Structure 1
């Protein structure tokens, strides 16, 4: 029975991945991770076992505790979807329907920048670093990181979004280095599209449902992963995104 670990499993894309793998015809052990309580599914599967863990990505001890509990468990796939948008909280509270207003040059501040980096970049690094022993116990381990086109320097033609863009660009650099330093593991960065995921308080124009994004990533990317995909930065259709 393969073990699949999904972060951000309490909502959005992570929850959509959890639903997919729990209803798959293949037997899986699913390790569902989130800082929030992970809801029960309408009908818990009989073929797949779900183990839930509450983990705080801003706490190294919380991440280490998870890794210790998984010691000796081979992880076949790690799907990392936990993250934040990096909006200034006070501005978002007063402008919940205007995402752009919450991340401009005029309002961006150090606490927002630091927290966004702590979760999106540092938290990802510490999580993958801690879980490497379990990944390396699997015969062909894969790590799929939810990236963003907004982390692309080449694609940035609109400016603003300082915390999110910078943390995702740094995340790209971290995962690219993982792909070089740990060639036994396939590391792939995937932009899921603009998804209704709960990262912001409103539904952004053009946002798609999490399930639609997950279906496309599974078909176009995750189902095709092999060594040739390691270190790549792609969209949900598998097309390369410029760095």
Structure 2
């Protein structure tokens, strides 16, 4: 069974990834840990909402999903999450998708470092970070800092593929009030992102900053 951790899973790209892996039909089933700082209603409500958007009911019974209200900027919350993973018998995570970016500098910059400080998460095979497109200058600075951190992690942890992905202009809560022209819905960009993370991320690619087509972006 493949173990997957998704941050920012309540909305936007994180939610799109969650729905994708929840209904994915493969011989190797998915065990998904969906993480967000807050969920609409309760985690049970979130589970029902995700079930409503997926289509393969038989597969939903086989793909296991658990929902966790976790502030990934909080060491205490991350410690609790790590304990939860250990108690669930998770020895390593096969894929970590970090898509939490609402609070900008704090969440984006520190989260990859905090996540990989866990002995369990450090054994992940792939950590993919989705960095948002926005008109705000602040996030241009944020992206540079994030790239530097991920590049450093790629050097320090050569057995893990770290990939920073610019998904393009995506209509998410991050862009409320500053919606960009031609912004796409998360579901529109998701297939390309999934293919990029699963098929084109190797250890040789670790530390790269790429667009949704897998092309390098200078920073």
TM-score where L is the length of structure 2: 0.84
**Aligned residues, how many?**
200
Q: 1:6 corresponds to which residue?
A: 6
Is the counterpart of residue 212 in structure 1 residue 200 in structure 2?
A: no
Q: 1:99 corresponds to which residue?
A: none
Tell me the alpha carbon deviations over residues 116-153 of structure 1, each in whole angstroms, 9 at most, x when there is no partner. 322221233212322x43442x6xx1100112467xxx
| 1:22-41 mapped onto 2 (5 Å cutoff) | 22-26=22-26, 27-37=29-39, 39-40=46-47, 41=50
Secondary structure, counterpart of 2:4 in structure 1: strand
Distance 1:228 1:217, change over 3 A: same
Q: Whose helix proportion is higher, 1 or 2?
A: 2
Tell me the alpha carbon deviations over residues 196-237 of structure 1, each in whole angstroms, 9 at most, x when there is no partner. 111132443210010111111112343222111111110001
Q: 2:130 corresponds to which residue?
A: 146
Q: CA deviation at 1:238?
A: 0.4
Q: CA deviation at 1:170?
A: 0.6
Does the CA-based 8 Å contact 1:149-1:241 persist in structure 2?
A: no
Q: 2:16 corresponds to which residue?
A: 16
Q: 2:214 corresponds to which residue?
A: 238
Q: 1:173 corresponds to which residue?
A: 148
Does the CA-based 8 Å contact 1:5-1:32 persist in structure 2?
A: yes
- RMSD (Å), alpha carbons: 1.9
TM-score where L is the length of structure 1: 0.76
Instruction: Give the Cα separation in 2 of the matches to 1:161 and 1:3.
Output: 34
Structure 1 runs not aligned, ≥5 long: 85-114, 151-159
| Segment of structure 1 superposing worse, 27-36 or 121-130 | 121-130
Is the counterpart of residue 80 in structure 1 residue 98 in structure 2?
A: yes
Q: CA deviation at 1:34?
A: 0.3
Structure 2 runs not aligned, ≥5 long: none
